[in-house]
Amino acid sequence: MKFNTKTIHGGQEHDPAYGAVMPPIYQTSTYAQSTPGGHKGYEYSRTHNPTRNALEKSFASIENGEYGLAFASGLAAIDAVLKLLKPGDEIISTNDLYGGSYRLFTKVYEDFGLKFHFIGMENADKVRNYVNDNTRLIWVETPTNPMMNIIDIKAMAEVASDHDILLAVDNTFATPYLQRPLDMGADIVMHSATKYLGGHSDVVMGALAVKDKELADKLYFIQNASGGVCGPQDSFLVLRGIKTLHVRMQRHCENGRQIAEYLKTHPKIEKVYWPGFKDHPNHDVATAQMDDYGGMVSFVTKGHDYDEAIAIVEKLKVFTLAESLGGVESLAGHPASMTHASIPKEEREKTGVVDSLIRLSVGIEDIDDLIEDLRQALN
């Protein structure tokens, strides 16, 4: 089955009760048993729920994995991955990453004895330098949020397999429409399904997909034991979202390209971060591992000014000033004061998240309206 077909049919069956084409929202916490243990595969909805199960099969299918897991948020999914580790274990992570992931790593898990190394991952040798006997996990986000750096997943997979380390890839920005990390040697792919997979800014959810049975069993154990699961209504919404992932992503990419090119020629703008540009430092890797360049675009103005950046995002009308990304509607964000406020200023400026940086999640509206909106806001 090819990708677009998988988004609609992958892992799905019509409901056995009445043949419902969409899985019903099984809004129940528990299931009747005829005798203790006499049930139809479902006992309690933290452990299993038919609507969530249908979604988990879809996650596995679209990421070319064998097993999928759904969580109450992207961070709950990351939390489950970190619970595979124990005190003293070390993690090498992308330094330019989602602020909430950084907060979870440093403010929660460092206290439990995990040690994180945040580094630029522009080449594999640099990563190898940080590997030691305690290294258990390499955490990669690509494209990165919000600087749109590209990390070579295959090269990271080589480092990981040479040293028997797990490689996890946060695939939220690219989605499997553009890039399939498990095919490139990653062990775990993670999503904030809140973003493109859900796609309509109406649900918060996280996902994991893996190929290996033993790893999947450990993660299912953690999912049930820690309990960070999502509800059936949200599972239904994300399952519905995934069915149009490919058509939405196609338009996100087309609009993203036009916006990036428009901004690049704008006299007030100093730099546009978008991996489709030939002068992007890892453009060749992006072209090799992605099928297109996505709908996320960041830029800085020539003024380098905090107040100017704030004025621009306030003036936008079609773009909504809001946290998050990946919905059908265009959003603008100011990372320094919003998504990345939890990263200390010196740390974030080292990676390029300066006060004048603006991040756009380009939606699927008519491109002329989006460009006109940016034109008036930059004026």
Half-sphere exposure in the Cβ direction for 171 (13 Å, CA): 30
Q: By beta-carbon distance, which residue lies closest to ligand PLP?
A: 74
- Name the catalytic one among 79, 170, 234, 355: 170
DSSP 341-375: TTS-HHHHHHTT--TTEEEEE--SS-HHHHHHHHH
Quote the least distance from Cβ 28 to ligand PLP, whole Å: 25
Stretch of 49-57, 95-103, 220-228, 277-285 lying at the interface with ligand PLP (CB under 6 A): 95-103
* 98 is an active site residue: yes
Sequence-distant (≥ 6) Cβ neighbours of residue 368 within 8 angstroms:
none
Q: What type of residue is 312?
A: I
* 248 is an active site residue: no
Token pair of 287, please? 């072209």
H or E segment to which residue 60 belongs:
helix 50-62
Q: Closer CB to ligand PLP, residue 179 or residue 301?
A: 179
Q: Which one of 79, 96, 141, 234 is in contact with ligand PLP (CB under 6 A)? A: 141
Q: What type of residue is 172?
A: T
**Contact flag: residue 95 with ligand PLP (CB under 6 A):** no
**Contact flag: residue 149 with ligand PLP (CB under 6 A):** no
Measured distance CA(320)–CA(333) in Å, rounded: 8
Stretch of 73-81, 213-221, 233-241, 263-271 lying at the interface with ligand PLP (CB under 6 A): 73-81
Total residues found in the chain within this entry: 379
Quote the least distance from Cβ 72 to ligand PLP, whole Å: 8
Quote the least distance from Cβ 87 to ligand PLP, whole Å: 24
The H-assigned helical ranges of the chain are 3-9, 50-62, 74-82, 99-103, 124-128, 153-162, 175-178, 213-226, 232-242, 245-265, 283-289, 306-315, 345-350, 367-378
**Contact flag: residue 298 with ligand PLP (CB under 6 A):** no
Measured distance CA(361)–CA(177) in Å, rounded: 17
Q: Closer CB to ligand PLP, residue 94 or residue 301?
A: 94
Q: Closer CB to ligand PLP, residue 248 or residue 269?
A: 248
Q: Closer CB to ligand PLP, residue 45 or residue 145?
A: 145
* 273 is an active site residue: no
| CB contact at 8 A, 161 and 186 | no
**Contact flag: residue 234 with ligand PLP (CB under 6 A):** no
100-139 binders of ligand PLP (CB under 6 A): 100-101
Name the 3-class secondary structure at 169. strand
Q: Give the residues across from 269 on adjacent strands.
A: 301
Q: Closer CB to ligand PLP, residue 238 or residue 377?
A: 238
Number of residues that bind ligand PLP (CB under 6 A): 16
| Residue in this structure with the two tokens 């390499």, named with its chain if needed | 138
Fill in the DSSP letter of residue 146: T
| Upstream peptide bond of 146 is cis (omega within 30 degrees of 0) | yes
**Contact flag: residue 241 with ligand PLP (CB under 6 A):** no
- Name the catalytic one among 15, 42, 46, 154: 46
Burial zone of 189 (CB within 10 Å; 0-12 exposed, 13-18 middle, 19+ buried): buried
Stretch of 24-32, 71-79, 287-295, 309-317 lying at the interface with ligand PLP (CB under 6 A): 71-79
- Name the catalytic one among 26, 98, 177, 196: 98
**Contact flag: residue 98 with ligand PLP (CB under 6 A):** yes
Q: Which one of 145, 149, 223, 361 is in contact with ligand PLP (CB under 6 A)? A: 145
Quote the least distance from Cβ 168 to ligand PLP, whole Å: 11
Residues 181-220: x/- map of binding to ligand PLP (CB under 6 A)?
-----------x-xx--------x-x--------------
Q: How many CB atoms lie within 10 A of CB 60?
A: 25
- Name the catalytic one among 6, 195, 348, 359: 195
**Contact flag: residue 171 with ligand PLP (CB under 6 A):** no
| CB contact at 8 A, 367 and 306 | no
H or E segment to which residue 71 belongs:
strand 67-71
Measured distance CA(308)–CA(285) in Å, rounded: 34
φ, ψ (nearest 5 deg) of residue 354: -90, 170
Token pair of 303, please? 């003024």
Q: Which one of 62, 70, 75, 114 is in contact with ligand PLP (CB under 6 A)? A: 75
Q: By the criterion CB under 6 A, which residues form the site for ligand PLP?
A: 73-75, 98, 100-101, 141, 145, 170, 172-173, 192, 194-195, 204, 206
Tell me which residues are annotated as active site.
Answer: 46, 98, 170, 195
